[in-house]
């Protein structure tokens, strides 16, 4: 129930590079709904749950619509989309009841994101409002400050390779 198969945001949103190119800081995934579905089928999985990331300035609904179009065209298995909330502002809070009414009953929060720490009180309110509307909140529980510290320490020591990934996520985080 946790995959990353979203297409990139549309051109003009957050300065996305042309197809096939990548900008530093932009999320890119190896698979799309077609190849991800094929992998799921090969493993006997019949339903996937995709993390749907809005681009800067894009509403949760718009991000879901973008992923619904991509999944509808390519997915070979059943799917659910988990909208990812990065900013707990009034606009996002107002969107939650409408998403729930439309059948989107999950929401994803990443505690590891720097924005989470600065909005902790508002994020708690998001969880409360989502729950009031029957939504399940999925929380990626990692302490962002500890992860950032570990990552910077590793990079200063010249350890930025894939084999250092586990060390960048200390158990205490």
* pLDDT, one tens digit for every residue, the chain (173 residues): 899 998 766 554 444 434 444 445 555 678 899 999 999 999 999 999 999 988 878 899 999 999 999 999 999 999 999 999 988 989 999 999 999 999 999 999 999 988 888 999 999 999 999 999 999 999 999 999 999 999 999 999 999 999 999 999 999 99
- CA-nearest of 80, 31, 85, 79 to 58 is 85
- Which helix (H) or strand (E) covers residue 50, if one does? strand 47-52
Q: For residue 149, give the DSSP letter.
A: H
Enumerate the domain spans of the chain: 145-173
pLDDT at 30: 80
Distance CA 29, CA 108 (A): 18
* 54: Cα separation from own chain's centroid: 8
Burial of 68 (0-12, 13-18, 19+ CB in 10 A): middle
User: How much is the pLDDT for 14?
Assistant: 43
Q: Is residue 110 classed as helix, strand or coil in its secondary structure?
A: strand
Q: Are 48 and 40 in contact (CB under 8 A)?
A: yes
Q: What is the pLDDT of residue 16?
A: 40
Q: How many CB atoms lie within 10 A of CB 77?
A: 16
Q: Are strands 47-52 and 78-83 parallel, antiparallel or unpaired?
A: parallel
């Amino acid at each position: 129930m946790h995959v990353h198969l979203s297409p990139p945001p549309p051109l003009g949103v957050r300065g996305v590079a042309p197809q096939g190119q990548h900008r530093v800081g932009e999320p890119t995934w190896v698979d799309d709904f077609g190849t991800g579905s094929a992998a799921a089928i090969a493993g006997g999985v019949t339903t996937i749950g995709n993390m749907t990331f809005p681009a800067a300035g894009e509403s949760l609904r718009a991000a879901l619509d973008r992923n619904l179009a991509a999944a509808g065209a390519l997915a070979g298995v059943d799917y659910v989309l988990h909208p990812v909330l990065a900013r707990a502002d009034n606009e996002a809070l107002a969107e939650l009841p409408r998403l729930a009414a439309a059948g989107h009953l999950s929401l994803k929060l990443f505690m590891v994101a720097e924005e989470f720490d600065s909005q902790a009180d508002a994020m708690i309110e998001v969880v409360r409002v989502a729950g009031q509307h029957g939504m399940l909140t999925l929380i990626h529980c990692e302490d962002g400050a500890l992860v950032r510290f570990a990552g910077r320490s590793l990079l200063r020591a010249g350890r930025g390779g894939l084999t250092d990934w586990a060390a960048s996520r200390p158990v205490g985080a």
